[in-house]
């Protein structure tokens, strides 16, 4: 009964999205009229229908109703309550439902919070968003319905993939989707602006908060995924330039370019066409990501099973999104107007350089990610493009962007002028930290390129420090929050560069086979296997090792890495134990058991030391907080009287 109601609600949301698209389209001429209101109501009703559908799917998971194919594939009665709930979006169909739910939330959000001062633009955007909802909901209803029945019903579910049973991964997909789908709002606004013939400046202003919100969520989502890969996959890496990671990185690069160019459009009327094009491309790349990840066309560590039919659907949706956006842009871009002029040393020029470099980085990532597909389409020998390609292309381009970054906040709009911004004190404040970081890294044996990376990271952090030093110059809560947001985000990427450079500089890994009582040394510490015991959980069996860490004879605590076996999925996972310190993480994973010749049991132990790796997490948190601060700055500004 519940499943049938769920199917009905998805169909209802589909019909409501069609109504939203048509009514709002008809209502854009008279934004206060009955058609426009009906469009907005349809948007709200579509959201309500999917909220209930999502709740119903959650109920089916809690009831362990294995007559529903999706529940049977992703749940199990043994599963803890928390993972029963997160299992709702743990597989393809449920995550697609979440995607559609967020799309309708953006539609309803556009209707309610869309540009107040430009009702026609708002209503038109609601209509475009309705069209996006329609496409994805048709895919959900016809080719990925989470409420499809399984006949005969399964006696027991297969369980959520154990590797996904993790707190960080429970919130990683919703965050990531919020970012991807948030960009759909920017896309709809850009399309609406082109249809309505808006100038670039008001359009940039309308897109700014949506771009900022989506970018913040995307940043947090990618960071959570990377953190999860670091501790759950048990290899210790945090970024692999894997196709699925690249699929999220390309929209992030575009969104990063967009939040900067939208500021220049909003404030100074610069880059009208380019900002609009970026808005269209950012969501197009999100849809490309959905296609790459869900169709399984690329070999990825993160890939789910292949499904050609799904791939075709998503490819068709992608072609419509990209085609409609680019065609309309080609026809209407001239109406956005010419950009305001600026000098080569103005802030606009620096934002332009930032955009150029970020777009170039997205371009080389795009080339490397899709190259295997081109080769395959041409019938060549299957190839893959690995980390060396991306390290040689995207990394230097982004490093150059970081070199320019500290200058931009000090440049005046329009007129610019280097001499006023580059005071000797400021120059020293940038060069000294960079030189110290680079030379220290070199002295500690870092490879020259990694030392350069450390210098650039310190340079960026120092630039953000100089920026925040102007705190007293920002008058009022809004400007203060905006300054804090910018400085935090800029410092955050600097810290990420520092963490990445340090991780690349001093890789340290030791492996040993340890029976209770035996020890190994790793990074100046002695690791002693004290005992191995059974530590079974609700739906898994586990071998837990207690490994005491001592340094120079002083005890530093006990690490407890685990090796879990999940019978429902017949799968083993590693739960690594990490001791985080200021110098870095001591990272211990428990490998396979080995039986010694004398019959004694021992375990493979892999110990790694990841220097300064906390800087990656700290940096990503700063970037996210910076986005939130910049968002709230806009909220404060908006509420200010006058």
637 belongs to the binding site for other proteins (CB under 8 A): no
> Among candidates 262, 216, 261, which has minimal Cα distance to 632?
216
Q: How far is the CB of 10 from other proteins (least distance, A)?
A: 18
Q: What is the DSSP letter of 324?
A: H
| Interface pattern 585-624 for other proteins (x via CB under 8 A) | ----x-xx-x---------x-x------------------
Query: 602 Cβ partners below 8 Å, 6+ apart?
Result: 513, 514, 515, 518, 593, 594, 595, 596
Closer Cβ to other proteins, 206 or 293, answer by number: 293
Which distant-in-sequence residues (6+ apart) come within 8 Å of 253 by Cβ? Answer: 358, 359, 361, 362, 365
In this complex, which beta carbon is closest to other proteins, that of residue 250 or of residue 349?
349
Applying CB under 8 A, which of residues 357, 441, 466, 544 lies at the interface with other proteins? 357
**Can residue 574 be called a binding residue for other proteins (CB under 8 A)?**
yes
User: What is the spatial distance between Cα 498 and Cα 434, in angstroms, rounded to a whole number?
Assistant: 11
Q: CB under 8 A: which stretch of 2-10, 54-62, 335-343, 446-454 binds other proteins?
A: 335-343
Structure tokens at 124: 């038109």
Structure tokens at 148: 């499809």
Which x/- pattern over 272-311 shows residues binding other proteins (rule: CB under 8 A)?
------------------------xx-x-xxxxxxxxx--
Give the one residue of 45, 97, 397, 612 binding other proteins; rule: CB under 8 A. Answer: 397
Residue 319 interacts with other proteins (CB under 8 A): yes or no? no
CB of 127 to other proteins, least distance (A): 34
Among the residue ranges 183-191, 313-321, 339-347, 548-556, the one whose residues contact other proteins (CB under 8 A): 339-347
Distances (CA, A) of 368 to 9, 293, 294, 358, 641: 41, 16, 19, 15, 50
The residues that bridge with 445 in the sheet, in sequence order, are none
Q: How far is the CB of 501 from other proteins (least distance, A)?
A: 20
Sign for the CA dihedral angle at 267, 269, 274, 280 comes to positive
If the CB atoms of residues 15 and 375 are measured against other proteins, the closer one turns out to be: 375
Provide, rounded to whole angstroms, the least separation between the CB of residue 356 and other proteins: 5
197: left (phi over 0), alpha (psi -120 to 50) or beta: left
* Integer Cα distance of 512 and 510 in angstroms: 7
581: burial class by Cβ within 10 Å (0-12, 13-18, 19+)? exposed
Please tell me whether residue 423 adopts helix, strand or coil conformation. Answer: coil
379 binds other proteins (CB under 8 A): no
Is residue 353 close enough to count as binding other proteins by CB under 8 A? yes
Contacting residues for 315 by C-beta, under 8 A, at least 6 apart: 291, 295
**What's the closest the beta carbon of residue 124 comes to other proteins, in angstroms?**
30
Choosing from 54, 99, 238, 342, the residue that interacts with other proteins (CB under 8 A) is: 342
Decide if residue 389 touches other proteins (CB under 8 A).
Answer: yes
Q: Interface with other proteins by CB under 8 A: which range of 174-182, 208-216, 385-393, 461-469?
A: 385-393
> CA nearest 48: which of 68, 86, 69, 20?
20
Residue 176 as a binder of other proteins (CB under 8 A): the answer is: no
Site for other proteins in 63-92 (CB under 8 A): 69-70, 72-74, 91-92
CB of 512 to other proteins, least distance (A): 6
Nearer residue to other proteins within complex by CB, 546 or 604: 604
Q: Return all residues near 508 (Cβ < 8 A) that are at least 6 apart.
A: 522, 523, 608, 609, 610, 611
Residues 136-165 that bind other proteins (CB under 8 A): 150, 157-158, 161, 163-164
**Positive/negative CA dihedral, 333, 334, 338, 344:** positive
Return the sign of the alpha-carbon dihedral for residues 267, 270, 272, 275. negative
Among residues 448, 441, 457, 544, the alpha carbon closest in space to that of 496 is found at: 457
Binding positions for other proteins, 225-264, rule CB under 8 A: 234
Establish if 180 lies at the interface with other proteins (CB under 8 A): no
Stretch that binds other proteins, among 111-119, 125-133, 499-507, 569-577 (CB under 8 A): 569-577
Q: Looking at residues 512 to 541 of the shown chain, list those that interact with other proteins (rule: CB under 8 A).
A: 512-513
Q: Does 419 bind other proteins (CB under 8 A)?
A: no
Which candidate, 47, 24, 41, 17, places its Cα nearest to that of 124?
24
Q: How many CB atoms lie within 10 A of CB 544?
A: 18
Number of residues that bind other proteins (CB under 8 A): 68
Which of 8, 572, 614, 637 is close enough to bind other proteins by CB under 8 A? 572
- What is the x/- site pattern for other proteins, positions 200-219, by CB under 8 A? --------------------
How many CB atoms are closer than 10 A to CB 392? 11
Given the rule CB under 8 A, which residues bind other proteins?
69-70, 72-74, 91-92, 150, 157-158, 161, 163-164, 234, 296-297, 299, 301-309, 341-344, 349, 352-353, 356-357, 360, 363-364, 367-368, 371, 381-386, 388-389, 392-393, 396-397, 511-513, 569-574, 589, 591-592, 594, 604, 606
């Amino acid at each position: 009964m519940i499943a049938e109601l769920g199917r009905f609600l998805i169909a209802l949301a589909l019909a409501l999205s069609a109504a939203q698209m048509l009514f709002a389209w008809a209502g854009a001429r008279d934004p206060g009229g009955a058609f426009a209101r009906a469009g907005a109501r349809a948007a709200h009703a579509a959201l309500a229908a999917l909220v209930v559908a999502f709740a119903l799917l959650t109920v089916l998971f809690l009831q362990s109703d294995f007559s529903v194919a999706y529940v049977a594939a992703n749940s199990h009665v043994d599963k803890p309550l928390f993972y029963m709930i997160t299992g709702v979006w743990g597989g393809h169909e449920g995550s697609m439902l979440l995607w559609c739910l967020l799309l309708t939330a953006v539609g309803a959000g556009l209707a309610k919070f869309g540009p107040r001062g430009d009702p026609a633009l708002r209503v038109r955007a609601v209509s475009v968003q309705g069209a996006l909802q329609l496409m994805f909901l048709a895919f959900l209803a016809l080719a990925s319905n989470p409420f499809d029945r399984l006949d005969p019903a399964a006696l027991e579910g297969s369980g959520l993939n154990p590797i996904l049973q993790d707190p960080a991964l429970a919130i990683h997909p919703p965050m990531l989707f919020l970012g991807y789908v948030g960009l759909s709002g920017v896309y709809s606004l850009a399309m609406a602006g082109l249809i309505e013939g808006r100038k670039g400046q008001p359009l940039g202003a309308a897109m700014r908060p949506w771009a900022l919100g989506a970018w913040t969520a995307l940043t947090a989502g990618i960071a959570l995924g990377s953190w999860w890969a670091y501790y759950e996959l048990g290899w210790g890496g945090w970024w692999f330039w894997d196709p699925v990671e690249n699929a999220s990185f390309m929209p992030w690069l575009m969104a990063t370019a967009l939040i900067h160019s939208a500021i220049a459009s909003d404030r100074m009327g610069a880059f009208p066409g380019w900002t609009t094009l970026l808005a269209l491309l950012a969501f197009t790349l999100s849809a490309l990501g959905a296609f790459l990840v869900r169709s399984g066309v690329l070999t990825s560590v993160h890939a789910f099973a292949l499904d050609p039919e799904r791939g075709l659907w998503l490819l068709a949706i992608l072609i419509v999104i990209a085609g409609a956006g680019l065609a309309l842009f080609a026809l209407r871009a001239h109406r956005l107007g010419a950009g305001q002029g600026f000098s080569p040393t103005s802030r606009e020029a620096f934002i332009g350089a930032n955009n150029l470099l970020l777009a170039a980085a997205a371009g080389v990532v795009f080339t490397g990610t899709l190259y295997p597909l081109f080769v395959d389409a041409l019938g060549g020998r299957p190839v893959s493009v690995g980390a060396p390609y991306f390290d040689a292309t995207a990394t230097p381009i982004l490093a150059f962007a970081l070199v320019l970054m500290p200058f931009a906040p000090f440049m005046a709009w329009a007129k610019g002028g280097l001499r006023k911004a580059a005071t000797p004190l400021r120059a020293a404040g940038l060069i000294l930290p960079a030189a110290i970081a680079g030379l220290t890294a070199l002295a500690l044996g870092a490879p020259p390129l990694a030392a350069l990376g450390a210098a650039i990271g310190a340079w960026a952090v120092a630039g953000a420090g100089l920026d925040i030093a102007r705190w007293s110059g920002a008058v009022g809560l809004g400007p203060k929050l905006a300054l804090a947001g910018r400085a935090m985000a800029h410092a955050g990427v600097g810290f990420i560069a520092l963490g990445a450079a340090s991780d690349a500089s001093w890789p340290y890994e030791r492996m040993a086979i340890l029976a209770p009582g035996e020890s190994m040394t790793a990074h100046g510490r002695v690791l002693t296997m004290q005992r191995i015991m059974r530590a079974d959980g609700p739906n898994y069996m586990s071998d837990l090792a207690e490994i005491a860490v001592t340094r120079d004879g002083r005890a530093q605590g006990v690490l407890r890495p685990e090796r879990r076996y999940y019978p429902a999925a017949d799968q083993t996972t590693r739960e690594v134990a990490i001791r985080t310190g200021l110098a870095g993480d001591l990272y211990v994973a428990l490998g396979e058991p080995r039986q010694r010749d004398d019959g004694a049991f021992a375990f493979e132990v892999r110990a790694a030391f990841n220097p300064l790796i906390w800087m990656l997490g700290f940096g990503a948190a700063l970037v996210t907080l910076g986005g939130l601060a910049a968002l709230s700055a806009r909220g404060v500004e908006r509420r200010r009287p006058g």
